[in-house]
Chain A
Amino acid sequence: MQVFKLYFKLLRSNKGILIMYFAIFLTVALVISNAQSVDGNNNQEAMKEEILTITIIDEDQKSFGNGLKEYFSSGNDIVDMEYDEQKILDKLYWRKLDYALVIPKGFEESLLDEDVKDMTLKCMKVPGYFDASFFESELSLYTSKLTSLLKAGYSVEDAQKQLLDLQDEQTKVELATFVNANQNDKSTTFLAYVPYLFITLGMNGIGLILLTFNAPLVRARMECSSTTMKTRIAGLVGGILLYGMLLMVTVIVVVAIVSKGRIFMDVRFPYFLINMFGMLLFSLSLGFFTGTIAKNQDAVNGLVNVLSIGLCFLGGVFVPYEFFGDAVLKVAKFVPTYWYAVTNTKIGAMTEMTSGLANDIFWQVGLVLGYALVIFSVTIVIIANRRKQTA
């Protein structure tokens, strides 16, 4: 009991660093889950049509100009302006205008008569502005189709009418959802960041305490005492497990707040817990390893930063693994945080549990637990070797 109590007294003396990492996690997870996630069927709203403000100045005053205006007035805002270069530039600068198109005098004639030298449409736009480039490519497509129709014998009016009719035949585009609308909900996005919390607080909360416990002088004093080694280890393990449970409970409380309590009614909740539990045990074993090999507090801090950020980036916690290239993905598969992230995504997307999905989840959590077991075993070997050398 003495060692168990001491664990929490020492933890209390390190509360500053623990609160700091918790605050970093909470800020990042909440901000990103709010920014990235969408609720329910809002996926469609994420892809909405852009309306451009365009002016078409027709110096040619032929039917081509009117047809062009009619064609692009659908889905765009066509404004009338006199040709005044300074005024147009001002409007472009202040983004009151996205594109200015000037049809030069004699343009239609150049389209119809092969003997007349080709003329080009004059344009003014903000360089590098994506929407304007999009309009430009639409315009290029329009003139290309129009030229083809004219060559086929259509008059300018008929050709433009044909193109207008074609424009009416729209294809309905729906944004594909990978599985269901749950996938990017706040809880799933928030829980994706849990490995960072578990790794940083696991490594600090265990590493720093073990460092103090393993200091040769106090360890020798404890070994001289009449408290058996079993009791001391039990106290320490009890402290570590309770600390781990507190971490887990903290995350559940925050998720409950984020999801406004809905997470408890969610069919996915038990599977989220299983996945988190795997990651928790991995983080605790990492903390055990850190506390055993680190020589001082600076070494613990260094290991925490390198491993937490490294594992979270490479595992697809900070950057979704869908964005990884093949080579990075191959490496990521060796990292436990990757399997946590994959499982979290799968659980997030699930509407009902199938045997295939259950199998995937348990295998992947098992893999993370395997990593935990390997790190724990390596640490035990290090401790055993050290004891031999000391003796």
Chain B
Amino acid sequence: MVVKIENLVKRYGDLVALDHFNLEIEEGEVFGLLGPNGSGKSTTINCLLALLEYDKGTIEVFGEEMTPTSYESKKNIGVIMQNVAVFDELTVYENIDYFCGLYIKDKNERKKLVEEAIEFVELQDYRKFRPKKLSGGLLRRLNIACGIAHKPKLIILDEPTVAVDPQSRNKILEGIQKLNQEGATVIYTSHYMEEVEQICTRIAIMDKGKNIALGTKDELKGMIDLGETISVEILELPEAVKEEIAHLPHVMNVTYENHLLKVRFSKGKHNLIRLLDVLKEKEIGFAGVHSELPTLNDVFLEITGKELRD
């Protein structure tokens, strides 16, 4: 077990940021903490890193209780904060070298690791640049390099892709998967469900400081009734036909807005065929037909009654 959190409670005055939160993360996982802003993701990470004192509960990392003086455990942890945390006064190389030097004392070993980190985030052409001269995406890559240069066994990434362009985002996500393939356990927090779905092997969905669902993405999607959502472009849909569709087997909900019919089905077979048969029978002309499987947003919606990005 790399991380074990039990009954964690953290209060800010009257606000309960973490409410008896539990979590276990195994070695080699890419673990996603998903939840809307204010759900308690960053508080969990800060407690896990012993940056915040908490009111109740226990946190163990690599089998040992995590405290501000757990320097042996900290040796094996790499942290990439939500905001870029580097020195503007130092160059790219100096920044990576400084933060790596907080873990690795041997100069030659450090030099090798810094070079590897620069190569990993593809900042070879920018090693003498100061952070102010880097674009947002490059800055994020520098931020990552500073967190992983010492080759940690556990890497914690707190929303590393906020305000990053799609190209840099893809590079960052690919990098995280590569780090995992090299043996690192990854904890990844985000409110972007697509990212979490893309890279995480297991996901915890958080809301109001609680762990409301936990599992692989398929397990999470399996927790809800929704099977698929079928959208059909129709110029005009009589109310009677809409009613008839609503009474088809497995239909959970029907909407027709802006010439788009949306039908949400619970799990079941032949939903699309049944729907198209009704339209054909009533001689309703239609254009594009799309079928979507449930997303983590659907899971969150069904559990909490609100959208992830509310």
Which one of B52, B68, B87, B146 lies within 8 Å of A212 (CB-CB)?
A: B87
User: How far is the CB of B67 from the nearest CB of chain A, in Å?
Assistant: 12
Q: A220-B81, A391-B52, A391-B53 are in contact. Are A228 and B69 (CB under 8 A)?
A: yes
Chain A, range 106-127, C-beta contacts under 8 Å to B: none
Report A113-156 CB contacts with B as 1/0, cut-off 8 Å: 00000000000000000000000000000000000000000000
Chain A 10-37 interface 0/1 with B at a Cβ cutoff of 8 Å (1 = within): 1001100000000000000000000000
Indicate if B292 sits at the interface (CB-CB under 8 A): no
Residue from the list B51, B71, B86, B90 in contact with A226, Cβ < 8 A: B71
Q: A26 to chain B: closest CB distance in Å?
A: 26
Asked if residues B102 and A2 are in contact (CB atoms below 8 Å), the reply is yes
Chain A residue contacts of B85, Cβ below 8 A: 215, 217-218, 220-221
B145, CB-defined interface residue at 8 Å: no
Contact between A224 and B51 (Cβ–Cβ < 8 Å)?
A: yes
User: Interface range on chain A: under 10, 10 to 19, 20 to 34, or 35 or more?
Assistant: 20 to 34
Name the segment of B93-101, B187-195, B222-230, B247-255 touching the other chain: B93-101
A-B contacts counted at CB < 8 A amount to 68
User: How far, in angstroms, from A223 to B71 measured CA to CA in the complex?
Assistant: 10
Taken together as a complex, chains A and B put the C-alpha atoms of A132 and B88 apart, in Å, by: 66
B100 to nearest A CB, angstroms?
9
Which residue in B77, B84, B90, B105 is a CB contact (below 8 Å) of A9?
B90
A221-260 toward B: CB 8 Å interface, digit per residue (1/0)? 1111111110000000000000000000000000000000
CB distance from A208 to the nearest CB of B (A): 10
Report whether A227 and B102 are in contact in the complex, using a CB–CB cutoff of 8 Å: yes
CB-based contact A224/B77 at 8 Å: yes
**Nearest A residue (CB) for B74:** A226
Chain B neighbourhood of A218, CB < 8 A: 85-87
Please indicate the chain B residues that have their CB under 8 angstroms from the CB of A225 in the complex: 74, 99, 102-103
Q: Does A6 sit within 8 A of B, measured CB to CB?
A: yes
The answer on a CB contact under 8 Å between B84 and A226 is: no
Contact residues in A for B98 (Cβ distance below 8 Å):
2, 6
User: Do B84 and A217 touch (CB < 8 A)?
Assistant: yes
Q: Which of B36-62 contact A (CB under 8 A)?
A: 49-53
B118 nearest CB across to chain A (Å):
18
B89 touches A212 (CB 8 A): yes
**B79 interface contact, C-beta 8 A:** yes
Cβ 8 A contact of B102, one of A9, A13, A14, A226: A226
In the complex, per-residue mask of A196-230: 1 if CB is within 8 Å of any chain B CB, else 0? 00000000000000001001011011111111110
User: Which residues on the A side are within 8 Å of B243 (C-beta)?
Assistant: none
Give CA–CA (A127, B85) in the complex, Å.
Answer: 71
Chain A residues with Cβ below 8 Å from B77 are 224
Extra inter-chain contacts (7) besides given A6-B87, A228-B71, A391-B53, CB under 8 Å: A2-B101, A218-B87, A220-B79, A221-B81, A224-B79, A225-B74, A226-B71
Q: What are 6 residue pairs bridging A and B, where the CB atoms are less than 8 Å apart in the complex?
A: A2-B98, A9-B89, A9-B94, A217-B83, A221-B85, A226-B72
The 4 closest A-B pairs by CB, nearest first: A217-B85, A225-B102, A13-B89, A391-B53
